[in-house]
Structure 1
Amino acid sequence: MHRQAQAPVRVLVAKPGLDGHDRGAKLVARGLRDAGFEVVFTGIRRRVDDIATTAVQEDVALVGLSILSGAHLALTRRTVEALRAAGGDDIPVVVGGTIPAGDVPRLREAGAAAVYPTGTPLDVIVADIRALTASEPEED
């Protein structure tokens, strides 16, 4: 029996709010692409509602937020809420950027499936996203 190759997992990398720094987001997007993911990159200064709409329209398996502005708690909470409102409540949200250690549990409470403070190794991010987007094993 010949198995058909599966399509790459689609993920969305987004820069919500007014933060204009995108070097980290581009680095992560490139690392995910090189690891076999299909990456949709929104660019900078995106509205939360637009990120949620794009995630649902593009049928992504995960949303990654890159936030350096200090507004990570509010932006994460608002993104999770916007995804629910747009019908994407099954799409996990991960957050990376300038995040104090004390805010990691608060981000998890706000709905983040994972949090990556500045300096998190790219291979750790890729492995976590693989695990978060792994589909259910097929039954024989």
Structure 2
Amino acid sequence: MATEKTFAIVKPDAVEKNHIGAILALIEKNGLKIRALRMMHMSRPIAEGFYHVHKARPFFGELVEFMTRGPCVVMVLEGENAIAKWRELMGATDPAKAAEGTVRKLYGANVGENATHGSDGPDTAKFEIGWFFPGYDV
């Protein structure tokens, strides 16, 4: 299996609750390498562009408000089967349905405030990494 890269976000809710270090430790403990990382406060245009695929959905406005309310941590992760590995480590979107020991079970509050984001496939990872790390070699 080839090494691949994926994109991840520690969302504002987890940053507000000081869970950055614990989430980064879980990432490393589970064999993923952090290749790029920065803390930022998303502007409305950045959040709207990043989540453009959800623009027609009823939760779009609420999602943009949430993602712009405070700082988040954006990063590139790398490892064997990194996309699937990170998605498994994140857990189900709804923390109440997430497996024990996953990031969302440990640090998420609900479907809207679920601590993390991760790319769902190679094309999405390439777009998302490029959105926040222009010129980064995916």
Same structural fold, with TM-score higher than 0.5 when normalized by the shorter chain: no
| The structure with more radius of gyration | 1
TM-score band, normalised by shorter chain:
0.3 to 0.5
